[in-house]
């Protein structure tokens, strides 16, 4: 086949190949097709297409154009309605209360409910989402100066410094570097992801301030264990969100009650009901409590799906996720 003489010939040749290989319906969505230094660059009107349909369109066009003479690479740009992406922060003023575990399991449960979910591990110094979401050892790539999120085996996307840094590497970064790292994660190429859950580090420091200034969440979920010391720190985190005019969606009480595996008797090593009482006092919705369970530790260490199990803990995560989904629907309405 001879090389085309001008841009019009290029477009006609590429469109003809797309019609032959991908069909008239997809070809009609093509708004531009041209050759640039051996690359076939195709712009497609993708409004109304689902995520899977967009991916199919890219694959079909690539398959149709790659065999053509003079085509060394195919690039497809999908244009259309911008995904309205919402950000939900999961935080607490104190470490070790279960923010990361809650974020991961909420993400999995929301994905099961049909939401297109991404998880951002904003705990720059102590990332744990790679283990929780089963992506340890994988490293995201960058395209056009954007990070491409990793696909978790549990049906959602994720980005974490834990996948970018060397294993067990200590990050001795100052505030501006931490803020830049958060921006790189939030501004990754999330595609058709509609909901980002941000797993915040403990406290009210650089990450939280950078988030409020540059990537203000649509809402926040606070998690705490029942004891008074944790509640004091959680209240501080709540004040930060209120100051930043971020709605607090609700409170989650973690490690609430432990059933003895031998006799079944319940005990409350961290106290009972403290966070629920705080929610009532502050007139904030109480989303639920998660028991202290061996299931959580085992699933977290293995990066397995606790939400899909018939355990009490799995049911608790599903219930909280359903309440969060209801809140999202009401806000959208």
Give pLDDT tens digits for 23-40: 888 888 888 888 877 888
Q: Beta strand 117-121 with 195-199: parallel, antiparallel or unpaired?
A: parallel
**In this predicted model, what pLDDT tens digit does every residue of 84-137 receive, in sequence order?**
789 999 998 788 889 999 999 999 999 998 899 999 999 988 899 999 999 999
| Under 8 Å between Cβ of 196 and 88 | yes
**pTM of the entire predicted model:** 0.73
pLDDT tens digit sequence for 262-287 = 777 777 777 777 778 888 888 889 99
pLDDT of residue 31: 84
Euclidean distance between CA atoms 126 and 130, whole angstroms = 11
Specify the residue for token string 């977290």.
300
Instruction: Compute the distance between CA of residue 34 and CA of residue 254 in angstroms, rounded to an integer.
Output: 56
Distance of CA 224 to the CA centre of its chain: 21
Going by C-beta distance under 8 Å and a sequence separation of 6 or more, which residues neighbour residue 20? 64
Q: Where does residue 257 rank: exposed (0-12), middle (13-18), buried (19+ CB within 10 A)?
A: buried
Nearest-5° Cα angle at 78, 74 to 82: 155
């Amino acid at each position: 086949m001879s090389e085309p003489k001008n841009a019009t010939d290029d477009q006609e040749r590429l469109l003809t190949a797309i019609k032959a290989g991908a069909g008239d319906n997809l070809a009609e969505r093509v708004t531009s097709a041209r050759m640039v230094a051996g690359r076939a660059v195709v712009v497609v009107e993708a409004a109304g297409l689902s995520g899977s349909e967009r991916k199919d369109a890219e694959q079909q066009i690539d398959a149709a154009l790659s065999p053509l003479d003079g085509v060394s690479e195919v690039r497809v740009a999908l244009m259309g309605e911008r995904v309205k992406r919402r950000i939900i922060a999961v935080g607490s003023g104190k470490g070790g209360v279960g923010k990361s575990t809650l974020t991961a399991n909420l993400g999995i449960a929301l994905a099961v409910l049909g939401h297109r979910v991404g998880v951002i591990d904003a705990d720059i110094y102590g990332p744990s989402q790679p283990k929780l979401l089963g992506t340890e050892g994988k490293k995201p790539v960058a395209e056009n100066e954007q990070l491409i999120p990793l696909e978790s085996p549990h049906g959602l996307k994720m980005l974490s410094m834990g996948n970018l840094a060397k294993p067990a590497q200590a990050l001795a970064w100052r505030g501006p570097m931490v803020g830049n790292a958060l921006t790189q994660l939030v501004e990754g190429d999330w595609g058709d992801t509609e909901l980002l859950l941000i797993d915040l580090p403990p406290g009210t420091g650089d990450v939280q301030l950078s988030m409020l200034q540059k990537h203000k969440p649509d809402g926040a979920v606070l998690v705490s264990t029942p004891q008074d010391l944790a509640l004091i720190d959680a209240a501080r985190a709540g004040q930060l969100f209120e100051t930043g005019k971020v709605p607090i969606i609700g409170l989650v009480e973690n490690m609430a009650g432990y059933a003895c595996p031998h006799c079944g008797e319940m005990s409350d090593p961290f106290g009972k009901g403290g966070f629920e009482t705080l929610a009532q006092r502050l007139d904030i919705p109480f989303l639920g409590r998660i028991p202290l369970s061996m299931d959580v530790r085992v699933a977290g260490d293995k990066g397995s799906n606790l939400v899909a199990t018939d355990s009490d803990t799995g049911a608790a995560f599903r219930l909280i996720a359903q309440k969060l989904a209801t809140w999202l629907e009401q806000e959208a309405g």
